[in-house]
Amino acid sequence: MATIKITKHNFEQEVLKSKEPVLLDFWANWCGPCRMVSPIVDEIADEVHGAAKVGKINIDEESELAGAFKVMSIPTLMVIKEGKVTATSIGAKPKKDILKMLEA
């Protein structure tokens, strides 16, 4: 399953009310490390389909969400389960480390 574009309009439904854990990728077009992580996040979205959701938040378009989560550096990856942040990672990471975040 492809990643979901998360906006302030669908955040509550797609993330806070999700029955599955949600991996969020905070990114921007101008961010080199974000471009490195993006294909890995896309792969993970296909692999975890049904067990978790994967969403991307463009911080330039959704500055309110980035501010709400105090995102200061990108890429920032977060896992949210039952409305609570359970894992956070800043910077480019290998796929295995990102998958471990979903297990936490």
Active-site hit among 4, 23, 34, 41: 34
Give the C-alpha separation, 60 to 24, whole Å: 15
Are 74 and 58 spatial neighbours (Cβ–Cβ below 8 Å)?
no
Active-site hit among 23, 31, 41, 79: 31
- Would residue 34 show up in a list of annotated catalytic residues for this protein? yes
Q: Which residue has the tokens 């890429």?
A: 75
Q: What CA dihedral angle connects 32, 33, 34 and 35, to 10 degrees?
A: 60
Question: Which pLDDT tens digit goes with each residue over 4-58?
Answer: 999 999 999 999 999 999 999 999 999 999 999 999 999 999 999 889 999 999 9
Q: At the fourth CATH level, which superfamily is domain 4-103?
A: Glutaredoxin (3.40.30.10)
Domain positions in the chain: 4-103
Q: Is the pTM of this model over 0.85?
A: yes
